[in-house]
Each structure stands twice: as structure tokens, then as C-alpha cells.
Amino acid sequence: QDAKAGRAKASAQCAVCHGANGLSQHPEAPNLAGQVEMYLMKSLEDFRAGRRVNEMMTVVSKDLTDADIANLAAWYAAIRITAEPPP
């Protein structure tokens, strides 16, 4: 897969809700930064196949190719994240 192609695709179609760095810009949209690659792929495949339904994602995922899905997953998974639980 090609994270750079995924980055380009994401900036065109996903960043408006999921943010340019994968941190959500929309109260219902999840952060995708550093998300588990297999989970991202499964989510996109499920939305595209209708196994999972969401008003926005059902539409957005409809025309994604397998390559798009692999590239998008690779891109978001490549964003480095750190996590610090509150004290």
C-alpha cells in the first residue's frame, strides 16, 4: 500500500471531518491518527459493503477502491501518536 497516496486521498475526502493530522474536527467523527491499520481497513470495507452503516461514511466509502482503502489505512496508521492517561 501507499501511504502517500492515502494522504492525498484523505486530504481530499476525509480531512474535513477527521482532520489533516487525523484528529477529529467533527463531534461525531472519530480520531483516525495512529489507528490500528487492520481496524481501519475493516471499518472502511464494512462501510463500503453496508455491513456497517453511517450517514456520512456510507456515502463517502461507496466508490473507494481496494487500493484506496489500503492506502488510507496505511496513511492514518502511519501518524505517530502518544497517549498519556490523566493522573
Complex with its own copies: residue 6 or 68, whichever CB lies closer: 6
Say which residue the cell 474536527 belongs to.
25
Grid coordinates belonging to 74 = 496505511
Complex with its own copies: residue 25 or 65, whichever CB lies closer: 25
Torsional class of 66: left (φ above 0), alpha (ψ -120 to 50), beta (otherwise): alpha
Q: Which positions lie near its own copies, rule CB under 8 A?
A: 3, 7, 20-24, 27-31, 33-36, 38-39, 42, 51-53, 78-86
Q: Give the separation between CA 83 and CA 26, rounded to whole angstroms.
A: 20
Least CB distance from residue 3 to its own copies, whole Å?
7
How many Cα neighbours within 13 Å face the side chain of 45? 11
Least CB distance from residue 19 to its own copies, whole Å?
8
Least CB distance from residue 65 to its own copies, whole Å?
23
